[in-house]
Chain A
């Protein structure tokens, strides 16, 4: 008797909608009853600087000699109202990351690396430490809704002040630092009990709206005798209007943080679904400054997913005066290092994907307050690595600028750029490569 051959069957098929990650999140939610909190920025793919290319020089434009002809990189911030604007040697700054979310050694490393390259670092939602003031030759002091550690002496010993309205990872959200990271020192600086889950406010306590902000900025200027540049940082949501309102409120510098921007700890659903990418945000912010006749007079700093010198050059070409980095700086000093793979595995993650920064168990000693873990990070060595990395970003941006014939990175312009995708062309308002088509503009090919 011969067996009947089995009927052909289709292969098991995974759903594109319910992919493995999505299924794991549903199971996690069902098991715990609480949303997922994590660090880092948006992990989904969004239109970004990768979707832009530089044209470089050709018969009609001549390039500058690499290694011979100078290409300037300095940037002056705060020239609008501040008596003492600050000058950075490179157009790349270190973004605000709180002591509390980061270890003291990590903050020191950031200060050392940035100072070696002549650029600034920024405090964060937790106040200013003596270590970071001591190791940062230029330090920007954040004024956040929580006002943790806020005091006039630190305002006066800062080199610039940044009023934080929001962050790209969570426009409209407040800070979050879970109990594991509220050590005695962190709690003391924030005037909170040790070990509690700290959820800081999302609105400033003493002002609402642009008219109040203007008066708030006036107060900060009065307290510091009009010396310090005052930045206003907003998460990218409505960058055209937010930039215009920040300018109207009297900001010297506007900081726009796109949705890819990192955070110490926020709900995953917030990180992935609120705000707009950095690419369209730069364009809109620049447009607002141009419409007000204040482009280059009020400086624009852009952050959110800056990784290499090409990203720096593209942000500047679109009209930014400088960029700011968070995640990349942490990676440069040792975050998510494959050398620690076994330890990431033990934490249920893998190098390159580790984002449970809120737990305070970072084997690299960066996003932790555990003294033993923190001691693993050598701030001198890590500072050196950050300086190296910043040097490479600068060299890369200069390489591109020279190829486009620019003697200063600020001379890069949208005309040097084309887009690889229609989305990027529309968002950055540069033509699709090989065409003169900008969606929504000069109609047709």
Chain B
């Protein structure tokens, strides 16, 4: 059953009103379809949502859109500023355009799909989120990445995965350089299967060939401080 979306126009209403309404959604609410118009780069749009809602934002957003999202499916028909879907817990955030720095930073779960490119520090300190970027990612992406996956169909900038912990990075294009303690790792069947699953999440199943990707992860040499590694610190 589809119903008419609940429309919120940020040319006339405030982000505060929007977020208050989204936060007040009772469990099992019928108001599951939301359309947000005229976002005009405003900050913290649809931040802190915890509801089974589908929220479509009709333009570009500022910082921290969909921050700490739980359960909701949020689509941005434009570009996103710094820290989109930061600390996402679950649900799905889809950016149709490009994103600024720190997309998906510290994300703990759920999926972040970026159709365009992501700037520097994409997936910084990620803790379990699955990020798929159809374009390329900037420098220091997956810095200190703890868990989850970062899949990049394009290229990766300098110092990919610097000081990475247990997150897995899959990159199809060129990697400008790897950061401290990040190494290329063998792509085994389990990794191909995982990558296929993540690409499926992004609606790309069968569209791209998993064998074109390389895998990167932690060499785990920095897990314990050792004086012989001084050059890496």
Residue pair B227, A206 in contact (C-beta under 8 Å)? no
Distance in angstroms between the alpha carbons of A25 and B63 in the assembled complex: 48
CB atoms of B227 and A33 under 8 A apart: yes
Partner of B48, one of A34, A199, A216, A224: A224
B69-89: contact bitstring with A at CB < 8 Å (1 yes, 0 no)?
A: 010000000000011001101
Selecting from A87-95, A148-156, A239-247, the interface stretch reads: A148-156
Q: State whether the Cβ of B53 lies closer than 8 Å to any Cβ in chain A.
A: no
Question: When chains A and B are docked, how far (Å) is the Cα of A139 from the Cα of B105?
Answer: 25
Q: Does A196 sit at the interface, judged by CB under 8 A?
A: yes
Residues in chain B near residue A205, CB distance under 8 A: 86, 102, 105-106, 121, 124-125, 143
Name the distance in Å between B39's Cβ and chain A's nearest Cβ: 14
Interface membership of B64, Cβ < 8 A:
yes
Are A219 and B166 neighbours in the complex by a CB distance under 8 Å?
Answer: no
A269 to B96, CA, bound (A): 49
Q: Which residues of B contact A222 (CB under 8 A)?
A: 15-16, 19, 44, 47-48, 67
Q: How large is the interface on B (under 10, 10 to 19, 20 to 34, 35 or more residues)?
A: 35 or more
Q: Contact at A146–B125, with CB atoms within 8 Å?
A: yes
Shortest C-beta distance, A99 to chain B (Å), equals 17
Q: How far is the CA of A147 from the CA of B146 in the complex (A)?
A: 11
Q: Which of A33, A152, A179 contacts B50 (CB 8 A)?
A: A152
Which of chain B's residues have a CB closer than 8 A to the CB of A193? Answer: 165-166, 223
Q: Which of A193-211 contact B (CB under 8 A)?
A: 193, 196-197, 199, 201, 205-207
Q: In whole angstroms, what is the CA distance A140 to B114 when docked? A: 35
Q: CB distance B63 to A219 under 8 Å?
A: yes
Question: A110: shortest Cβ distance to chain B, in Å?
Answer: 26
Q: Is the CB of A152 within 8 A of B89?
A: yes
The answer to whether B225 and A219 touch across the interface, beta carbons within 8 angstroms, is no
Beta-carbon contact of A206 and B105 below 8 Å: yes
Tell me if B108 counts as interface (CB < 8 A to partner A). Answer: yes
CB A275 to nearest CB in B, in angstroms, measures 22
Interface size counted on chain A using CB atoms at 8 A = 31
A219, B223: Cβ atoms under 8 Å? no
B92 within 8 A of A: no
Contact B48 A223 (CB under 8 A): yes
Cβ 8 A contact of B64, one of A153, A199, A216: A216
- B223 surroundings in chain A (CB, below 8 A): 193, 196-197
B110 within 8 A of A: no
A-B contact count (CB 8 A): 105
Which of these, B15, B62, B224, contacts A197 with CB under 8 Å?
B224
User: 1/0 per residue A172-204: CB within 8 Å of B?
Assistant: 000000010000000000111100110101000
Residue on B nearest A212 in the bound complex, by CB = B82
Q: In this complex, what residue of A is CB-closest to B20?
A: A225
Q: Is B127 among interface residues, defined by CB-CB distance under 8 A?
A: yes
- CB-defined contacts of A152 to chain B, threshold 8 Å: 48, 50, 68, 70, 87, 89
Find chain A residues with CB under 8 A from B70 CB.
Answer: 152
Does B128 count as interface, using CB distance less than 8 angstroms?
A: yes
In the bound complex, residues from chain B placing their C-beta under 8 Å from that of A196 are 165, 223-224
* A381: Cβ under 8 A from any B Cβ: no
Does any Cβ of A come within 8 Å of B144's Cβ?
Answer: yes
What is the interface of chain B mostly: helix, strand, loop, or mixed?
Answer: loop
Give the docked Cα–Cα distance between A340 and B126 (Å).
42
Q: Determine whether the beta carbon of B68 is less than 8 Å from that of A223.
A: yes
- What DSSP secondary structure best describes chain A's contact surface? loop
* Contact A218–B44 (Cβ < 8 Å): yes
Known: A205-B125, A222-B19, A225-B23. A191 touches B108 (CB 8 A): yes
For B106, the closest partner residue in chain A by CB is A147
**Interchain CB contact (< 8 A) of A206 among B47, B62, B86, B147:** B86
Q: Which residues of B contact A219 (CB under 8 A)?
A: 43-44, 47, 63-64, 67, 83, 86
Q: How far is the CA of A223 from the CA of B166 in the complex (A)?
A: 29
CB distance from A31 to the nearest CB of B (A): 12
Question: Which residues from chain A contact B106 at a C-beta distance below 8 Å?
Answer: 147, 150, 205-206
Q: Which residues of A contact B16 (CB under 8 A)?
A: 222, 226
- Min C-beta distance of B147 to chain A, whole Å: 5
- Measured between beta carbons, the chain B residues less than 8 angstroms from A206 are 64, 82-83, 86, 101-102, 105-106, 124
Interface residue A215 (Cβ < 8 Å from any Cβ of B): yes
Q: CA separation between A138 and B212, bound complex, in Å?
A: 53
Tell me the bound Cα distance from A271 to B101 in angstroms: 32
Which A residues from 224 to 257 make CB contacts under 8 A with B? 224-226
**Cβ of A423 to closest chain B Cβ, rounded Å:** 36
Q: How far, in Å, is B144 (CB) from chain A's closest CB?
A: 6
Closest to B225 in A: A197
Q: Please determine whether A191 and B147 come into contact, CB atoms closer than 8 angstroms.
A: yes
Question: Nearest Cβ in chain B — how far from A127, in angstroms?
Answer: 11
| A290 to B106 CA separation, bound complex (whole angstroms) | 37
A62 to B21, CA, bound (A): 56
Which of B68, B83, B108, B225 lies in contact with A155, CB distance below 8 A? B68
- Chain A residues contacting B227 (CB-CB under 8 Å) are 33-34
Tell me the bound Cα distance from A205 to B107 in angstroms: 11
- CA distance in complex: A193, B224 (Å): 12
Q: Are B47 and A223 closer than 8 Å at their CB atoms? A: yes
Alpha-carbon distance between A199 and B222 when the two chains are bound, in angstroms: 10
CA distance A153 to B109 in the complex (A): 14
B interface vs A, CB < 8 Å? 15-16, 19-20, 23, 43-44, 47-48, 50, 62-64, 67-68, 70, 82-83, 86-87, 89, 101-102, 105-106, 108, 121, 124-125, 127-128, 143-144, 146-147, 165-166, 223-225, 227
- Can you give 16 contacting A-B residue pairs, CB < 8 Å? A146-B125, A147-B106, A152-B89, A192-B165, A193-B223, A196-B165, A196-B223, A205-B102, A205-B105, A206-B102, A207-B82, A215-B43, A218-B44, A222-B47, A223-B44, A223-B67
Q: Given A193-B166, A224-B48, 17 other A-B contacts at CB below 8 A?
A: A147-B105, A155-B68, A192-B166, A196-B224, A201-B125, A201-B144, A205-B86, A205-B105, A205-B121, A206-B101, A206-B105, A215-B62, A215-B63, A219-B44, A219-B86, A222-B48, A223-B67
Q: Which 8 pairs of residues, A with B, have the shortest CB-CB distance? A: A223-B48, A206-B83, A152-B68, A219-B64, A196-B223, A147-B106, A33-B227, A206-B102
